[in-house]
A and B are shown apart, each in its own frame.
Chain A
């Protein structure tokens, strides 16, 4: 009997105290449930929105001199280049660049804006369509210089203009009437850009 017990112990491969210890560990494990995960992981979702508004900016030289274009009583002429940046939405109407006289010629005795003597032509727009014909500058309202299409942007390439900044050339023409007194006259014009 004693020999038989010893054989059983050898077959089991572990001593009583080893088995007891292992059982205790299993007991402890069971008391604590399944093995705990090494890490807890939580997730947070968040949205990021970017609303890029339609906007445009235009700049012009501070002044431009109109000088005789030819012989006696030929019109006076002068050119300037407008620089602009603009972006417009795909679903909007696009935008435009306009000009309006915000101050008549002074001093008096010379040309006047209401008389229709100041006109201009547009060309070489790098974004949009320049005006056609020879619009007359008005004191009472804006007239078109260039039309900006929808989905426009400056410098983006692809569907946008690659030029940065964009530009359009404006050539002014002032009638030279023999009734004008000699002297130097100046008027103020304002360029405006808008975009939707």
Chain B
């Protein structure tokens, strides 16, 4: 009698199908969609679009320009991590410069980092000199659901010098920010 329940005949197949359907429904109810949906990044923005160092007096060499990086996430979870990194995408030296000026003469300092308006965690990384490799500016853990904007304020600092030939056109660096949300 017990073995009869394991028959693979038509009745048994129908029973399996019903059970699978029931498990699907139960599983679907038990595991709502957002749990498996990955965090998505939206509205990523760097302001200003162009950083301009205007060197008018090498005896006052420290030139600082603040930049704000912001983005939003949807589908975030509080235990997931996020990170903003930066690299010089145009090479180890400034482009179009009459003098050779390495990009590592530019210091990047995170001033403040806010995630989800303070509901999530955001930490500034230590200051670093710009390079062609990605370096972390700020990181933390995500806000849940449709998080409010994450905002990191950075200071770019360049030390002007009499050692640099004056420019006809601006020296330039292409910057590449990478935002990762797990």
CB-based contact B172/A47 at 8 Å: yes
CB-based contact A5/B179 at 8 Å: no
Count B interface residues, CB 8 Å: 71
Q: Indicate whether B124 reaches chain A with its CB closer than 8 angstroms.
A: no
- Given A50-B158, A151-B98, A164-B162, does the pair A5, B31 have CB atoms closer than 8 Å? no
Interface size class of A (residues with CB under 8 A): 35 or more
CB-based contact B174/A41 at 8 Å: no
Chain A, residues 159-194, CB within 8 Å of chain B (1/0): the string is 110001000000000000000000000000000000
Q: Which residues of chain A are within 8 angstroms of B33 by Cβ–Cβ distance? A: 32
Provide 20 A-B residue pairs closer than 8 Å at the C-beta atoms, listed in order of the A residue. Answer: A6-B3, A16-B19, A19-B16, A24-B20, A24-B26, A28-B31, A32-B37, A36-B37, A39-B181, A40-B73, A43-B177, A44-B46, A44-B179, A47-B173, A49-B53, A51-B53, A51-B170, A87-B164, A87-B165, A160-B163
Q: Indicate whether A147 reaches chain B with its CB closer than 8 angstroms.
A: no
Q: Indicate whether A140 reaches chain B with its CB closer than 8 angstroms.
A: no
- Bound state CA distance, A185 and B150, in angstroms? 71
Q: Indicate whether A31 reaches chain B with its CB closer than 8 angstroms.
A: yes
In the complex, residue of chain A having the shortest beta-carbon distance to the beta carbon of B41: A42
> 14 other contacts beyond A40-B40, A47-B50, A48-B173, with CB at 8 A cut-off?
A24-B23, A25-B27, A36-B36, A39-B182, A41-B178, A45-B176, A46-B50, A48-B51, A49-B53, A51-B55, A52-B164, A52-B171, A89-B165, A89-B166
Chain B, residues 144-182, CB within 8 Å of chain A (1/0): the string is 000000000000101011111111101111111111111
